[in-house]
Amino acid sequence: MRYDGPGLYVHVPFCSAICPYCDFAVLTGGAEKRARYVGDLVAEIAMYGGEWSEDGSGAIDLGAARVFDTIYLGGGTPSALAPEELARILGALRAALPVRADAWVFCEANPEDASADRVGAWRAAGVDTLSLGIQSFDAAALLFLGRRHDPGQARRSVELARQAGFHTVSIDLIYGLPAGLPGATLASWRRDLEAAVEAAPDHLSCYQLTIHAGTPFGFRAARGEIGELPEPAQAELFRFTHEFLADRGYFGYEVSSFARSPDHQSRHNRKYWDHTPYLGLGPSAHSFSGRRRWWNERRLPAWSAKIAAGGRPVAGGEELGGQELALEALMLGLRTRAGVDLARFRVRYGIDLAARNDALIDRLATEGLLEPVAGALIPSLHGLSVADSLARAFELGDG
């Protein structure tokens, strides 16, 4: 079954505690605040019942597939909501919007929220892929990262998800912690990956730690207390991650994404990488029509206030030109092992990459950054690790 229609993203902003590395729009809040959020979200969903362009003009072309076929509940922590609240959100989406009957539903969850009853309720609500924010199986690393679960809860959450019968169980891991901490060395990261493989998820997402300004880690970095690993150490960990997981049956189909089989790859995230339209709902959520991108108010009070006033909670937007779309598509494509189909790129963006960059392509292949595949730009593992700089080396001309 193909999933090439537009996607839905719902941002749930709540967390039981805010991790010191987190740069997302998240906040803590009790049951009453969460219930108000759900009510406001249902009202926002209803605003898009007729047409989901942000100005309501109906001018956006969604192509032949006008039905939403994926739903992603992200955050924040969707599992911070009560199961009946998640079920209400999914029901509202299906009632107000053209959602395919077999739309694929993804939900993020924290291990400490994964009791047998709650996991079963998520599955009963229609969740197909459960993504568990484990981050590490090492107790000291979890403490440093501000996580609220322990290694035992991490393992148990995967077991419970398996027993509940999700099609895909995915886990998130973070590596590249500052020197002197667990996760900073190759040996400690190997132990984490071994524990992850032993848990036998269907999918893994492995992210290098990024320290953002304005976060608790950002403040510590500004004081010189911590810092990101040097680039050579990051590159070594990146290469090791892909090689280790490939040897154990997990194909790295994107920079940070690994799956047991093509059937376990993310049906939703591929839309972001392929410029497929998507609608974002909830505070800070982004949307994309194919040429235009817009985003909601980031802060919950501002988002709620616009909805209460009867308007869509849009904070801003931008129209993307042909050059911008082409460069973005090239960057996104080179972050995946599928790479960039040259004929499709030429039809979609009006740019013949091969003709404009024949000498560059030959050089990048000789340097081992691109694999020699006719009709496509396929990054090697080395190329995958420097995908953004690789893309910027190409001449796009005027389109």
Q: Determine contact, residues 275/6, Cβ cutoff 8 Å.
A: no
Alpha-carbon dihedral angle through residues 22, 27, 29, 31, given to the nearest 10 degrees: -80
Distance from C-alpha of 265 to C-alpha of 276, rounded to nearest angstrom: 16
Helices 186-199 & 231-247, crossing angle to 10 degrees? 30
Distance from C-alpha of 28 to C-alpha of 307, rounded to nearest angstrom: 21
Q: Determine contact, residues 385/235, Cβ cutoff 8 Å.
A: yes
Distances (CA, A) of 266 to 55, 110, 190, 202: 30, 19, 24, 11
DSSP reduced 3-state for 288: strand
Helices 186-199 & 151-164, crossing angle to 10 degrees? 30
Other CB atoms within 10 A of residue 41 CB = 24
DSSP label at 182? T
Distance from C-alpha of 202 to C-alpha of 197, rounded to nearest angstrom: 9
- Which helix (H) or strand (E) covers residue 273, if one does? helix 269-273
Q: For every one of its 399 residues, what pLDDT tens digit does the chain have, with 9 covering 90 and above?
A: 789 899 999 999 998 888 999 888 878 888 999 999 999 999 999 998 866 544 444 434 444 447 999 999 999 899 999 999 999 999 999 999 999 999 999 999 999 999 999 999 999 999 999 999 999 999 999 999 999 999 999 999 999 999 999 999 999 999 999 877 766 789 999 999 999 999 999 999 999 999 999 999 999 989 999 999 888 889 999 999 999 999 999 999 999 999 999 999 999 999 999 999 999 999 999 999 988 999 999 999 999 999 999 999 999 999 999 999 999 999 999 999 999 999 999 999 999 999 999 999 999 999 999 998 989 999 999 999 999 899 999 999 764
Matching residue, tokens 């739309």: 103
Q: Determine contact, residues 312/306, Cβ cutoff 8 Å.
A: yes
DSSP-assigned beta bridge partners for residue 251: 259
Distance from C-alpha of 274 to C-alpha of 341, rounded to nearest angstrom: 11
Distances (CA, A) of 131 to 152, 175, 360: 17, 17, 39
Stated pTM of the model: 0.94
Other CB atoms within 10 A of residue 373 CB = 11
